[in-house]
Amino acid sequence: MVKVRPTLLRVPASVPGGRSPGTASLARNECPFGLLPAVARVLAAANAATSRYPDPHATGLVGALAAHLRVPADRIAVGAGSSEVCSQLLHTVVGPGDEVVFGWRSFEAYPILTMVAGGAPVRVPLARKKLDLDAMARAVTHRTRLIFVCNPNNPTATALDASALRAFADRVPTEVLIVVDEAYREYAAATAVPDALALLGDRPNVVVMRTFSKAYALAGLRVGYCVGPAELIAEVRKAQLPFSVGALAQDAAVAALGERAEVARRVGLTLLERERVMSDLHELGYPVPSSHTNFLWLPLREASSAFTEFCLNRGVAVRGFPGEGVRVTVGLAAENSAFLALAADWTAARRFTGR
């Protein structure tokens, strides 16, 4: 039998999942409004050029991002979604046995991608459903190479303020890479959540990571990027899989950047629905923390799996984390109302049975 890397044997296998016809999908933090108009036009005009390999350097996309963010192009690396960008960063600085620190629970890919890269995940428990930056700083050792800071945090939807993030960056040794994951930046911008690029972007050991999968509604085309020091980004680009961001994905992302007004309109609609759902859940007695994202966190603990199954059996898919909580994406108004009806039914049934 072929000998497999020991670290890979410890990585859990992914569980196949799909969408059931007629089920409201509130499990994946997607934008519910479909393609942006400019993106739809780009995809409709796709022609024989897609039979050719895409630009391996994504020159047009990097240039558009540089103009959008007002940073030099050599500070930007792209990948097939933020998951591949995470992997590129890990493979740039992490060697066998090196440690990667992150809050837990946080983005599910962090420990998996760390182990695939040969590193050792260091999970730091949350405090009051937020990243515990003091504990994360204390977790840094001479073996630490990278720290993931998910802000706002997935799946708890909580966020750190500017003073906490700045103080944390001051405490971390400059040889340790801090990756601030801002996948939900567009939803957080309307609140007090800091823009890490503006706050920490001039530091030599900070990289800010973002994605087109959420507010820009390109989850199926897989486009993510990061911004950091030019010298480091040059190495990060080497870790990208060749041609991983396809031609259509590059063109669609460029078009999406030009849709600022429509993105803002859609974000506004989602935020209004988020507040409605959160308010109704509070009235039902669910202790939902304030959200800075396009989803809500229900800390149901031991009831999480049962609640998830209860919703799915009645046509609403939510994301359960057994023993911890349930993450519910803010969808279309009708989908959200269907979920709220189930949440009300759940509490009524539990009161009736005395559980």
CB atoms within 10 A of CB 12: 9
Q: What pLDDT, on a 0 to 100 scale, did the predictor assign at position 54?
A: 94
Q: What is the pLDDT of residue 22?
A: 80
Task: State the pLDDT at residue 10.
Answer: 80
Position 352 scores a pLDDT of 52
Asked if residues 69 and 227 have their Cβ atoms less than 8 Å apart, the reply is: yes
Q: Strands of the chain (E only): list them.
A: 24-25, 76-79, 99-104, 120-125, 144-150, 177-181, 206-211, 224-227, 295-298, 316-317, 319-321, 325-329
The closest of 16, 87, 72, 30 to 221, measured between CA atoms, is 30
In terms of DSSP bridges, do strands 177-181 and 144-150 run parallel, antiparallel, or are they unpaired? parallel
| 37-257 CATH choice from 3.90.79.10, 3.40.640.10, 3.30.70.1250, 1.20.1050.40 | 3.40.640.10
3-state secondary structure 108-166: CHHHHHHHHCCCEEEEEECECCECCHHHHHHCCCCCEEEEEEECCCCCCCCCCCHHHHH
- Write the DSSP assignment of 33-46 as a string of letters: T-S-HHHHHHHHT-
- What stretches of 10-119 adopt beta strand conformation (E)? 24-25, 76-79, 99-104
Residues constituting the chain: 355
- What is the distance between the alpha carbons of residues 104 and 119, in angstroms, rounded to a whole number? 17
* Contact by Cβ (8 Å): 317, 24: yes
Sheet of 325-329: strands edge to edge?
A: 295-298, 325-329, 319-321
Chunk the chain into consecutive blocks of 10 residues (it has 355) and report each block's average pLDDT, rounded to whole numbers: 80 67 90 94 80 93 98 98 97 96 98 96 97 98 98 97 97 98 92 92 97 97 98 98 96 97 97 98 96 97 96 96 97 98 92 54
- Boundaries of every domain in the chain: 22-32+261-353, 37-257
208 in Cβ contact with 182 (< 8 Å)? yes
Which residue type occupies 126?
Answer: L
pTM of the entire predicted model: 0.94
Cβ neighbours around 278 below 10 Å, total: 19
Yes or no: is domain 22-32+261-353 CATH 3.90.1150.10? yes
Q: What is the pLDDT of residue 16?
A: 57
Q: What does residue 317 show for φ and ψ, rounded to 5 degrees?
A: -90, 120
